[in-house]
Amino acid sequence: MAYDKAFYDAYREYLKEESVRVSHDFIFGCFQKMAGENLYVIDFGCGLGEYWQYGCPLMYTGVDVNDFDQKFKLINLDYHGLDAVQSSINLRFVPNAFVSLFSVECFHSVQDRYEFYRKVFQTFPQISFGLVGGFFYEGKRDQETVEETGGIVSYQTIEDPALYISDIFTEFRLHIKTPSQMFGSDVIEVWKIFIRR
């Protein structure tokens, strides 16, 4: 099962849960302090546009193949085609930061996601900062993938960061326990902030 309207309806409620808002708002604040006030953000796999709703971007454009009545600027493309995304973005604004709140981390193996982050920094030389979110379940740390709500299989963020040091960006990582109705009580969110070297 793919992400469909029913999933996004449930996810919209998840984003309002107190534990989720406390964790995510804390991370968004940390990112804002590191990246600065004038954030021109491109959101890869934006879904409902959480960063647009709850972050503080000066300008924001989402990139996703789903379109559930978003009220923000959306490029309706698969974000893997970074050259096509860059062509579309250049018509709107020049991003200096990117976010991917769970999309890249959850849909890709660790090698593929770090390759994607490297390509983002190479394709968009003006991007200086990135914020991505992942997760793992405390009771399933030994599993690379897990089945979640709606039969969706997701990759957990359980890799050793020392094995993925980049010569393009520096990574800061935080783990925050974030229990929720949708995902249960043993979820640890893994947040990564990237800064161009």
Q: Which two tokens stand for residue 80?
A: 């893997």
Structure-token match 């109705």, residue found: 181
The pLDDT value recorded for residue 68 is 67
Domain count for the chain: 1
Write the pLDDT tens digit of every residue in 48-97.
Answer: 999 999 999 999 999 999 766 678 888 899 999 999 999 887 767 899 99
Give pTM, 2 decimals.
0.94
Strands in 11-143 per DSSP E: 40-44, 59-63, 73-75, 97-101, 129-137
The pLDDT value recorded for residue 1 is 37
Write the pLDDT tens digit of every residue in 109-132.
Answer: 999 999 999 999 999 999 999 999
Asked whether the predicted pLDDT for residue 22 surpasses 90, the reply is yes
Question: By three-state DSSP, how is residue 94 classified?
Answer: coil
Q: Which two tokens stand for residue 11?
A: 């996810």
How much of the chain exceeds pLDDT 70, in percent? 95
Task: Kindly state the DSSP code that residue 166 receives in the 8-state scheme.
Answer: -
Cα(50)–Cα(7) distance, rounded to whole angstroms? 15
Instruction: Count CB-CB contacts under 10 A for residue 87.
Output: 12
Asked whether the predicted pLDDT for residue 3 surpasses 80, the reply is no
Write the pLDDT tens digit of every residue in 149-194.
Answer: 667 899 999 999 999 999 999 999 999 999 999 999 999 999 999 9
176, with CB counted inside 10 A (0-12, 13-18, 19+), is middle
Q: Which residues touch 112 (CB under 8 Å, ≥6 apart)?
A: none
The domain of 116 spans 5-196
Comparing 4 with 185, the larger pLDDT belongs to: 185
CATH number at residue 98: 3.40.50.150
Of the candidates 84, 99, 53, 132, the residue with the CA atom closest to the CA atom of residue 75: 84
* Longest Cα separation, the chain: 46
